Homo-oligomer: A and B are copies of this chain.
């Protein structure tokens, strides 16, 4: 949807390689970025250097909106795979907005979506057990892949257990343990970064795994 170019305005594309930083916290804000292809992570880094991952943007997602209000980026974006980004200089956005207000509206909409996503994530974090968080994470990832036309049942994780943990508010070992547990429960198969989803409907609504017994069927 956010193929802004159809509106008659051309934007520059940039390519980034794995590990490359798109912008850093505290750096002066000048542009928004829309993911055209590839896979990134955005994170906040606190005074002590702990990084908290706030999202794994993919095609169609927007980066850098948290820079608008203070004129400096508040977060950091790093490419996890080679990626292509559409650069939208904020000045241009403002200019173009004068002639085509729908364009600014489009940005409002994407921001609104991002805010809502962030809130859901927040709620999940508060009210769900570690198991439910991991289950939902996999389920959501599956949905996002599906939306982009990839397989929703077989995919490769682009991030480490560590990063998943830093996204879900869990320790690395907990993520690992829970993935094993989900596998033993027959809901998924895990082999390192390769994932198969067997029971998406169970993952989506899981609250807690039944206390471990040998039952494979309920």
Contacts and interface: CB of A to CB of B under 8 A. Distances in A.
A105 B94 contact: yes
B66 A122 contact: no
Q: Contact size class for A? A: 35 or more
Interface stretch (A13-21, A77-85, A112-120, A175-183): A112-120
A52 B101 contact: no
Nearest to A118: B118
Contact of A52 (B66, B70, B116, B122): B122
Interface stretch (A123-131, A140-148, A150-158, A187-195): A123-131
Given A108-B68, A116-B66, A123 B46 contact: yes
A66 B125 contact: no
Contacts of A120: 44
A26 to B, nearest CB: 13
A149 B30 CA distance: 33
Interface of A: 44, 46, 50, 52, 54, 65-70, 74-75, 94, 97-98, 101, 104-105, 107-116, 118-123, 125-127, 166, 169
